[in-house]
Chain A
C-alpha cells in the first residue's frame, strides 16, 4: 500500500487560503440568488437592502476585505484519506495554525473567547476552530470549511421529534424556528436542516447543510420537494430583506439526512445569514 506524505505546512497554507478567500469572495450561488431576489422583491426598502448587499460583495471582493465584520467561528468538515501521513507536525495543529494565520494575516475579526460562561477572554487569533474528521479510503484530504457568524447561529435549534410527528411535524418545527428568528439572523437567510442520526448528528448535518450550495438539491426527490416547499412557505412569512418586509426571507433551504433509531426523528435547524460563506479544497 502506498503512503502519501504531506508536510504540515502544506495543510496550514491551504487552510489559511481557504478561510481568507471565503471571507472576501462570496460563492456564485449566493450572488445569483441575491440578484434574483432583487428582481423579485416587491418592497422598495427590501429592494434597496438587496442592492446594498450586492454592492457590498463588489467592494469586499475588489478590496479583499471581509464581506461581514463577523468573520465567524471556523468550522471544518474533513475527509482524511487513510493513506496520508503528516510530516513535521500533526494534522490538528496544522489546521489550527492555518485558521490562526488566516484571521491574523487576513484582517479577519477575532471572535472566539476562551471559556463560554465565566472568563470569556478573547483568544486573539480566532482559534480553536471546530473540526470534524471522517477517515475515508484514499490518499487525499478534502476540507469543507465554513465561517459561521453568530447572529444567525444563535437563532438555530434542535428538537427530538418522534416518529408519529411525520413530515408535518418536521415542517412545523422548521417553520416555527425560522418564524421565531424573524428579523434577527440577517435575512434573506439560508436554512440548513439536519434530520436523523442522533441528537448531535442531526446538528452536524444541519451545519453541513448550510455549507452546501443552494443551487443543489437533496438526492431523494421527496426531500428535494420539501426543500422547495419550505422555501416557498418561508418567503410567504413576509420578514423580507433585513426583516424590514418583503417576499425574500430565505435564499435557500438545504436538507441533509441520515438513518435514525426506531424511536426517534431528530431535527436540527441551523440558520445562516445571507452571507453564507464556505469553500472546499482537496489536498
Chain B
C-alpha cells in the first residue's frame, strides 16, 4: 500500500501505475454532475472558475448528511462516466487527479495522457468506511446544490486504487 501525500506532483504521478493500491492524505475537492456542468459552462463563456482547480484532485461524490459528531456522512464515489463530457476541458485547465468509480471514455483517457493525469477508483458502496478517512469538510462553491456542491475534503489515508494511470494503462475489465 503506497502512501501518497497531496498535492500530486508530476513526479508522484509518474510513479503511480494501474493496479496500485494507495492511501491518500492531504486535501481534495469534490464535484459531480451539476457542479461539472456549471464549471464547464463558465469555461465555455471564458469566465473565471469559483475554485482554482490547478494541481487538484477531484472526487466525484455527493455525501450524505453528517450525523452530529461526524465530520461528514457516508461519502462513496459516484459513476465517473457521467463527468466524461466535461473532463478534458478540466484537465486542460490543470486538474491532476480524479477519484470515482467505473469506466472512462477514450477522450478522457487521451486527455489524461496529454496532461499527465491519474484516475483513481474508490470502492463504490463502501461509503461509511470511506467517510472514516475524511476528517474535515468545507464548502468551496455552489452551496445551493446541496450534496452536489463543491467541497474541500481533508483526508487521511483515503483508500483508493489507481485504475487508469498517466500513460493510459487501465485495469478496468472491458
Which of A61-69, A166-174, A193-201 lies at the interface with chain B? Answer: A61-69
CA distance A64 to B70 in the complex (A): 12
In the complex, what residues of A have CB within 8 A of residue B159's CB?
52
- A65: which of B19, B121, B128, B148 is its contact (CB, 8 Å)? B128
Per-position binary interface string of chain B over residues 138-155, scored 1 when its CB falls under 8 Å from any chain A CB and 0 otherwise: 000000011110000000
Report the minimum CB–CB distance from A184 to chain B (whole Å). Answer: 4
- How many B residues touch A, CB cutoff 8 Å? 42
In the complex, what residues of A have CB within 8 A of residue B129's CB?
52, 55-56, 59
A interface with B by C-beta (< 8 Å)? 45, 48-49, 52-53, 55-56, 59-60, 63-71, 107-111, 120, 122, 124, 151, 154, 182-186, 237-240, 242-245, 273-275
A244 x B172 contact (CB < 8 A): yes
Report the minimum CB–CB distance from B60 to chain A (whole Å). Answer: 11
Per-position binary interface string of chain B over residues 109-145, scored 1 when its CB falls under 8 Å from any chain A CB and 0 otherwise: 0000000000001011111110110000000000001
Report the minimum CB–CB distance from B74 to chain A (whole Å). Answer: 5
A184 x B101 contact (CB < 8 A): yes
A-B contacts, 27 of them at CB < 8 A, read A45-B161, A52-B129, A53-B125, A53-B126, A65-B70, A65-B73, A66-B64, A67-B74, A67-B125, A69-B74, A107-B65, A109-B65, A110-B146, A151-B124, A182-B102, A182-B173, A183-B172, A184-B101, A185-B79, A186-B101, A238-B173, A242-B121, A242-B123, A242-B124, A242-B161, A245-B171, A275-B125
In the complex, what residues of B have CB within 8 A of residue A71's CB?
64
In the complex, what residues of A have CB within 8 A of residue B76's CB?
68-70
A45 x B74 contact (CB < 8 A): no
- B79: which of A151, A240, A275 is its contact (CB, 8 Å)? A151
B161 x A68 contact (CB < 8 A): no
- A109: which of B34, B62, B67, B126 is its contact (CB, 8 Å)? B62
Closest chain A residue to B132, Cβ basis: A59
In the complex, what residues of B have CB within 8 A of residue A185's CB?
79, 102
CA distance A242 to B79 in the complex (A): 11
A243 x B103 contact (CB < 8 A): yes
CA distance A109 to B147 in the complex (A): 8
* Interface SS of chain B: loop
Report the minimum CB–CB distance from B100 to chain A (whole Å). Answer: 10
In the complex, what residues of A have CB within 8 A of residue B29's CB?
none
CA distance A111 to B33 in the complex (A): 12
Report the minimum CB–CB distance from A156 to chain B (whole Å). Answer: 13
B73 x A66 contact (CB < 8 A): yes
In the complex, what residues of B have CB within 8 A of residue A107's CB?
64-67, 73
Closest chain B residue to A241, Cβ basis: B123
Interface residues of B in 26-56 (CB under 8 A from A): 34
- A240: which of B34, B81, B125, B173 is its contact (CB, 8 Å)? B173
CA distance A111 to B101 in the complex (A): 19
In the complex, what residues of B have CB within 8 A of residue A53's CB?
123, 125-126
Closest chain A residue to B73, Cβ basis: A107
CA distance A55 to B129 in the complex (A): 7
Report the minimum CB–CB distance from A67 to chain B (whole Å). Answer: 6
Known: A45-B161, A107-B66. A67 touches B101 (CB 8 A): no
In the complex, what residues of A have CB within 8 A of residue B79's CB?
151, 154, 184-185
